[in-house]
Amino acid sequence: VAIVEYQNKLKLEYNPSLESVITVMISIVIGTVTLTGSFIAFGKLQGIVKGQPILLPIRNIFNSFLFILIIISIIWLTINPSNQYVLYYCVAFCLLLGILLVIPIGGADMPVVVALLNSYSGIAAAATGFVLHNNMLIIAGSLVGASGLILTRIMTRAMNRSLVNVMFGGFGIKEESNSIHQIKETKPIKSASALDVSMMLEYAQSIIIVPGYGLAVAQAQHQLRELSDILKSNGSSVKYAIHPVAGRMPGHMNVLLAEANVPYEELKDLDEINGEFQRTDIVLVIGANDVTNPAAKNNSSSPIYGMPVLNVDQAQSVIILKRSMASGFSGIENDLFHLEKTFMLFGDAKNSIEEIIREIKTL
């Protein structure tokens, strides 16, 4: 839109005003960076692009060089607006910058990136509103941009990291410590059947459910709600522990559970629920990985050390529904899988929950 408007201004005015050129260029720069950045984020979330950080040599220096070229292009266009080759060069620089800004960021940080790109899109829309003299677009873009920035701040605080660290830290690229590999080798996992899990849940008085991206992939939220209703009818207390960065975008788990009409009062955030795990009989983890990893608290050499996580390891027993032993998007082994109290039920979450429901009904 901004490029078309720029062309129109050149036709109507041989030398557009400085204000018009700057407004158009802000819209073009932010919108173009957001476009390619969003494509890379989508690719990482869909597994098309490698989820772990792709760290290119001297990437920060090259990004700084691109940014300087973009600034020079904008200045050049304010001096000579009719030079359209400079405009096209600027667009190309912005397209490349959007790719290079997002590709070094690991999949575990994608919720923050999605929130930030959402903010960028709002700012681009507001700038386009100034270009078109459209007050409604300015207001809507400003609201989206502001809400995106606020959400980004909330997400980074939930991860105990700064935005600069997320954007430039290459989170998840460090190798795991030898101790984690040793745990994996010396402590085999405990597998459980649907019958085993159903019997454990049947006699549990307090249950906390921890949903993650695996729940979204399997689209098992309705089956989970049915299981929860059965457990509550048996007299069990059921709550849902929602980590701020669970899933692949901000509020992912909240939306997913709301779709299944899970009562809102049963959803508890990290600060509210963390003190209850030590008094809980069973924690049922469905497709959540990094947000339950005790290495964030216990292993100072872990890349996620210091990140607030759910205290799942403090419960009496832990049941994990997972497709395989694959690590999360951070690429880090989860120590929780190897605890004596942890039982693994492998398979598609939807099928596993349906099988658990059938077994409970036969007890």
Taking the C-alpha atoms of residue 97 and residue 84, their distance in angstroms, rounded to an integer, is 20
Strands (E), 106-258: 206-211, 237-242
* DSSP secondary structure string for all residues of 193-251: -HHHHHHHHHT-SEEEEEE-HHHHHHT-HHHHHHHHHHHHHTT-EEEEEE-TT-SSSTT
Residues 6+ away with beta carbon under 8 Å from 74: 22, 25, 29, 90
* DSSP secondary structure string for all residues of 159-172: TT--HHHHHHS-TT
The catalytic residue among 109, 290, 313, 335 is: 290
Which residue in this structure is represented by tokens 């049922």?
A: 284
Taking the C-alpha atoms of residue 210 and residue 267, their distance in angstroms, rounded to an integer, is 10
Three-class secondary structure of residue 109 per DSSP: helix
Burial 189-206 (b: 16+ CB within 10 A, else e): ebebebebbbbbbeebeb
Amino acid present at 28? I
269 annotated active-site:
no
Cα–Cα distances in angstroms (integers) from residue 8 to residues 3, 16, 18, 25, in the given order: 9, 10, 15, 14
Which residue in this structure is represented by tokens 């691109």?
A: 66
Distance of CA 15 to the CA centre of its chain: 45
Lookup: tokens for 62: 């090259």
Taking the C-alpha atoms of residue 345 and residue 194, their distance in angstroms, rounded to an integer, is 7
CA dihedral 216, 217, 220, 221 (to 10 degrees): 10
Q: Which residues are catalytic?
A: 290
